[in-house]
Amino acid sequence: MDGVTRGMSALAELVERGDVAVLSGAGISTESGIPDYRGPTGRARSAEPMTYQKFVGSAEARRRYWARSHVGWRQIGLARPNAGHRAVAELERRGLLAGIVTQNVDGLHQAAGARRVIELHGGLDRVMCLSCRERTPRAELERRLRAANLGWEASGLINPDGDAVLTDEQVAGFRVVDCTGCGGLLKPDVVFFGENVPRHRVEECFDVVVGARALLVLGSSLMIKSGLRFVSRAAALGLPIAIVNQGPTGGDADAVLTVDAPLGPTLTDLTARLGAG
C-alpha cells in the first residue's frame, strides 16, 4: 500500500465519523478555471490586490479596480463547480459535515449544492453601496457597466479575486457607475486587503470549528492568518486536522494527516470510499 492510498484510507476513516468542519481555499477552485495565488497555477504569477484604503480614497483606483473586475467577472461568473465542490456538497448531504468555511469569493460551493457555507471574505456575486449599505446582484452592476462602456474591450490574466491584469492604456476611458439609490460608491461585497472581516462572521466561523469533531482543510496554503487562525484554534482544542492540498501548507505541523494531491479526484475518491449515502 503506497503513501497516497494509506492517506486516503486514513482520511476516509476520519470523515466517516462525521461532525467535520471544512475550511476551503483557492486550491479547490483551480479545476474550475480560477487560478490561485500560491499553488501550482499561481507560482509564476504576480498580483497587486486592491486595498480598501486605495479604493475609497482614489477615483482612479476605483476606475482601475472596476475595469479589471469587469473583465475578470467574465471568467469568474462563468465558472462552474468542479468535482471537488460537488464532493463537499455530497459530504454535507450525507450529514458528515459540521459546516463549511470558505476563503473563496466565487460562490462555487453553493452552486454545487452546499447549504451551510460561511463566506469568510464575502462573495463577488454581490455589490454593496458604501453609503446606504444596500446590496444588489453583481449581474445588475455588470449590465450597467456594459451600457456605460459601449465599445470598450480589454483582456488580461485573471486573478483569483476576480480581477484581470490590465495596462494603464486599457483602463483609460473606462466609466464607473455609482449606486442607483443614493449615488454612493459601489464596492464588491468582499473583504479587501486593509479591511477587517466583520467580527460576527469570524466568530461564526470559530463556532463551526469549536463545535466540530475534526477539521478538514481543502486547497488552502494557510500562509496568512485569515485561514491559519482556524487551524490554530482546532489544534489548541486537540481536534484532529487533515489537510488536502497541492504543496506544503502553513498548517502541516498541526495536521495528523496531509494528502498532497489534486482536490477533485481526491475528494471524488473520498466519497466513493465512504459508499453511497
Catalytic residues: 121
Q: CA 241, CA 234: separation in Å to the nearest integer?
A: 7
Q: CA 181, CA 135: separation in Å to the nearest integer?
A: 11
Tell me which residue has cell 494603464: 168
φ, ψ for residue 247, nearest 5 deg = 105, 165
Annotated binding-site members for Zn(2+): 129, 132, 179, 182
Residue pair 85/32 in contact (Cβ under 8 Å)? The answer is: yes
Annotated binding-site members for NAD(+): 25-45, 103-106, 219-221, 245-247, 263
Residue pair 139/188 in contact (Cβ under 8 Å)? The answer is: no
Residue type, 212: A
Computed on alpha carbons and rounded to an integer, the radius of gyration of the chain in Å comes to: 19
Annotated binding-site members: 25-45, 103-106, 129, 132, 179, 182, 219-221, 245-247, 263
Tell me which residue has cell 451551510: 116
Q: CA 89, CA 24: separation in Å to the nearest integer?
A: 12
Q: CA 34, CA 159: separation in Å to the nearest integer?
A: 8
φ, ψ for residue 231, nearest 5 deg = -65, -40
Give the contacts of 170 (CB within 8 A, at least 6 positions apart): 67, 154, 156
